[in-house]
């Protein structure tokens, strides 16, 4: 084995500066998203209430049209459309955070522009961290965190570039990204250093990179699922004749319909599940090369498999009649909870072969997956 390259301290310090700078810009983006939600027009919200009120009136007392043809009376009753998925009514998607007005849209565009700038700065921080040690920038939990948050934002911006109406994700994304980076630079920070011998493998690039991408997409699906639960409760309350509070009406009515959020979360989770399967297989192959066995029920291996089973159960339940809507959503959130514990809980609180030093706050040297 060749001698490990020395750490370039200048690049390592530049990486730290870029990550802090990205946090500052993400903070500006966060406030821009809040401004979009607060000052966007409220005149174009309320479509959900209007649609459900009209639907309830039609369902309770449907109009009857009588046509006479020859001496025969023909009764024609209007149809009330109800979505099959989760028994949610067919209501329109909300106009978005800005409420459909020009001023709110301007704030939203500023927020997205700041998010793009922060993403580029953070990506530069990840790249310079990698160059400082001439290896993949995910050899410890700090590096995994900064890479994961950057990829999560990249997934969001990719969806926007594909003309998907996902700007409603921006506020929640920047909030969690700031929390993730704050945790990284304080509790999880690790000095730029070389890897232990067991991690010197091309599988580090393949296995961990796919795990990061899967986690980022699972995160997007989890946010959509959580918002689906709130939006579904809002729609059910309106359909039952209830009156939600002013804040709930203003906020939730701007989101996509519950059925749209349910469909979106299902599609993103289903799309990335095969890659998560590959991630586990790649890890097993790497384990065979590094430790001489493909599977040993190490805590990380066990929880990776539990996460796989949880998402498999969700996708199966979601595709089976009777497990639509809220039941499947709870299962999806439980599956994402397994993913979170697989990373944070196992790495911090459980020791195993995936930990390469004493696992303690501020001195973590365990590979992400």
Structure letter (DSSP) for residue 89: B
pLDDT at residue 36 above 80?
A: yes
Q: Out of 112-116, 168-172, 346-350, pick the least confident.
A: 346-350
Return the pLDDT at 240. 79
| Rg, the chain, Cα only | 25
pLDDT at residue 85 above 70?
A: no
Return the pLDDT at 165. 81
Residue scoring higher pLDDT (223 or 2) = 223
Return the pLDDT at 291. 74
**Contact (Cβ atoms closer than 8 angstroms) between residue 272 and residue 245:** no
- Phi, psi angles (nearest 5°) of residue 89: -70, 155
The share of the chain scoring above pLDDT 70, in percent, equals 77
Return the pLDDT at 126. 95
Q: What is the pTM of this model?
A: 0.81
Return the pLDDT at 51. 62
Measured between alpha carbons, how far is 83 from 89 in angstroms, rounded to an integer? 5
Give the DSSP per-residue string, 240-306: TT----HHHHHHHTTSPPHHHHHHHHHHHHHHHHHHHHHHHHHHHHHHHHHHS-S----HHHHHHHH
pLDDT at residue 64 above 50?
A: no
Read off the pLDDT band of 322 (50, 70, 90).
low
Return the pLDDT at 33. 93
Measured between alpha carbons, how far is 127 from 156 in angstroms, rounded to an integer? 20
Residue scoring higher pLDDT (92 or 264) = 264
Return the pLDDT at 320. 79
**Contact (Cβ atoms closer than 8 angstroms) between residue 362 and residue 189:** yes
Mean pLDDT of the chain: 80
E strand or H helix that includes residue 239: helix 209-239
Q: What is the pLDDT of residues 158-212, one digit of tens each?
A: 999 887 889 899 999 999 999 999 999 998 888 877 666 666 677 788 888 999 9
Give the pLDDT mean for 215-243: 89
SS3 of residue 352 by DSSP: coil
Return the pLDDT at 89. 62
**Contact (Cβ atoms closer than 8 angstroms) between residue 292 and residue 316:** no
- Phi, psi angles (nearest 5°) of residue 196: -70, 160
Return the pLDDT at 55. 53
Residue scoring higher pLDDT (102 or 6) = 102
């Amino acid at each position: 084995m060749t001698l490990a390259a020395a750490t370039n301290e200048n690049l390592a310090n530049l990486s730290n500066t870029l990550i802090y700078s990205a946090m500052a810009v993400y903070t500006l983006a966060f406030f821009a998203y809040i401004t979009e939600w607060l000052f966007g027009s409220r005149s174009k919200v309320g479509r959900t209430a209007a649609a459900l009120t009209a639907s309830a009136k039609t369902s309770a007392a449907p109009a009857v049209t009588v046509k006479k043809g020859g001496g025969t009376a023909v009764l024609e009753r209007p149809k009330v459309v109800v979505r099959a998925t989760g028994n949610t009514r067919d209501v329109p998607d909300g106009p978005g955070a800005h409420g459909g007005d020009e001023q709110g849209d301007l704030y939203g565009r500023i927020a997205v522009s700041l998010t793009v700038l922060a993403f580029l700065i953070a990506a530069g921080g990840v790249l310079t961290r990698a160059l400082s040690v001439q290896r993949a920038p995910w050899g410890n939990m700090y590096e995994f965190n900064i890479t994961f948050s950057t990829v999560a934002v990249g997934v969001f911006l990719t969806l926007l570039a594909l003309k998907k109406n996902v700007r409603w994700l921006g506020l929640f994304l920047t909030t969690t990204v700031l929390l993730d980076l704050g945790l990284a630079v304080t509790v999880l920070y690790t000095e730029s250093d070389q890897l232990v011998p067991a991690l010197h493998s091309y599988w580090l690039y393949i296995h961990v990179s796919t795990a990061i991408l899967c986690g980022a997409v699972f995160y997007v699906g989890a946010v959509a699922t959580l918002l689906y639960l709130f939006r579904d409760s809002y729609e059910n309350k309106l359909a039952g004749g209830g009156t939600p509070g002013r804040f709930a009406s203003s906020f939730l009515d701007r989101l996509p319909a519950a059925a749209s959020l349910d469909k979106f979360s299902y599609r993103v989770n289903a799309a990335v599940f095969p890659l998560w399967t590959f991630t586990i297989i790649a890890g097993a192959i790497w384990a065979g090369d590094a430790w001489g066995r493909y599977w040993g029920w190490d805590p990380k291996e066990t929880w990776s498999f539990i996460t796989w089973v949880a998402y498999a159960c969700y996708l199966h339940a979601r595709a089976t009649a009777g497990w639509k809507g809220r039941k499947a959503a709870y299962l999806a959130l439980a599956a994402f909870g397994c993913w979170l514990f697989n990373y944070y809980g196992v790495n911090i609180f459980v020791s195993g072969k995936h930990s390469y030093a004493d696992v303690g706050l501020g001195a973590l040297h365990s590979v992400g997956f």
